[in-house]
Amino acid sequence: MSSPVQTSGQTSGKQTPIALTIAGSDSGGGAGIQADLKTFSALGVFGASVIASLTAQNTLGVQGVFPVPPVFVQQQIQSVLSDLSVGAIKSGMLATADIIAAVAESLSAYPHIPFVLDPVMVATSGDRLLAEDAINTLIEKLIPLASVVTPNLHEAAVLLNEPVATSLEQMQLQGEKIIALGARAVLMKGGHTNSEQATDLLITAAGVSAFSMPRLTTKNTHGTGCTLASAIAAGLAKTLSLHDAVKEAKHYLHNALLHSEKLHIGQGSGPVHHFYSFY
């Protein structure tokens, strides 16, 4: 008689890489939790999720936001981290000061897990996703926990209360100021510049690394920030160095944008093609 097939519990062999996203749900499927989980899967990482807010959202914009009670956000985090061997955590849309404070309190108990902080403030459509009074809480409580913060140029300007950077030199200076707020590293995303190359700067205590890809022209940019931050978290979950995780993530996003024209989703700003390599 053959032995029964094992269907649960720990098995021998290599540990499955796991990443956790703490973010908002995008009902249109192009950004937020949905984009994060697609990115994890595409890069060979098992994805777990904590939903911090719900949105009524599509390619045309955000029609409504419903924040999840902070105590339940914490319950989700504890449920996941008490059971799964999570290799990296990524946060996205957190919506309110109370939710940010709750996430910070929970994550402070897990300083050994790499944490990618995407300071989501505004959707691609221009709709605001972070309450004005939540910015200081983000700066004071969450940035000091971050292994890397991934602001676009507009988000960095809001965090620092400065004009938007227009050059690589200004991007570096602002990145260094965000590190001074307590982050271990900052990836300043240059996607909103006007140069032919889309250049991001990874700034750490050890120095600055530039990651450049040719700029692409497409309307399918919904969820690009979520996708890049999640791809970095996926790399960290696979135990890549931060430099290599950013390099892999930048390459992945470039190709997801390059192949996005194969998708015909919605009437507005469509999503990137998370599963381009499978089609």
- Tokens found for residue 148: 């890397």
- Tokens found for residue 88: 């990296």
218 given a catalytic annotation: no
Q: Which of 223, 235, 250, 270 is catalytic?
A: 223
226 given a catalytic annotation: yes
7 given a catalytic annotation: no
Q: Which of 24, 191, 225, 270 is catalytic?
A: 225
Q: Which of 226, 227, 235, 270 is catalytic?
A: 226
Spatial separation of the C-alpha atoms in residues 16 and 6, rounded to whole Å: 17
Q: How far is CA 222 from the centre of its chain?
A: 13
24 given a catalytic annotation: no
Q: Which of 96, 199, 224, 227 is catalytic?
A: 224
- Cβ 246 vs Cβ 232: under 8 Å: yes
227 given a catalytic annotation: no
29 given a catalytic annotation: no
Q: Measured between alpha carbons, how far is residue 55 from residues 27, 29, 134 in Å?
A: 6, 11, 18
Residue whose structure tokens are 């269907």: 7
Spatial separation of the C-alpha atoms in residues 137 and 48, rounded to whole Å: 25
Q: Which of 59, 193, 221, 227 is catalytic?
A: 221
Q: Which of 96, 189, 227, 250 is catalytic?
A: 189
Active site residue ranges:
189, 221, 223-226
